[in-house]
Amino acid sequence: MLYAIIARDKPNNVDRRKALRPTHLEHLKSAGDQIVCAGALYDESDQPSGSLVVIEAADLGAAKALAAADPFVTEGVFDSYEVIRWNWAINNPTGRGQ
């Protein structure tokens, strides 16, 4: 199943995000093919303000565990995040999550 991790950064936290970005990316890379896609969300000033990560996991608990281990969570970059079931309905080149 596919899950979307939708996160919002704490206000005025761009420098902390940038400092922890390499560790965050290593965490995502360590999940291998479990990561379907990932990237930053940007605010109206074109500054990173959150993240969207789509993962494939056995269940919601496994998806939440991966999200909770992200350095952006453990080191306080994110103000909030949610993990929700997601369906890749359009332009799904591999049929993942179906």
pLDDT in tens, 8-39: 999 999 999 999 999 999 999 999 999 999 99
Does 94 map to a domain? no
Does 98 map to a domain? no
Mind listing the pLDDT tens digit for each residue in 35-92? 999 999 999 999 999 999 999 999 999 999 999 999 999 999 999 999 999 998 888 8
Does 20 map to a domain? yes
**Which residue has tokens 């999940």?**
31
CATH, residue 71: 3.30.70.1060
Does 38 map to a domain? yes
Domain count, the chain: 1
Structural domain containing residue 34: 2-86
Does 47 map to a domain? yes
What's the burial of 30, exposed, middle or buried (CB within 10 Å: 0-12/13-18/19+)?
exposed
Does 59 map to a domain? yes
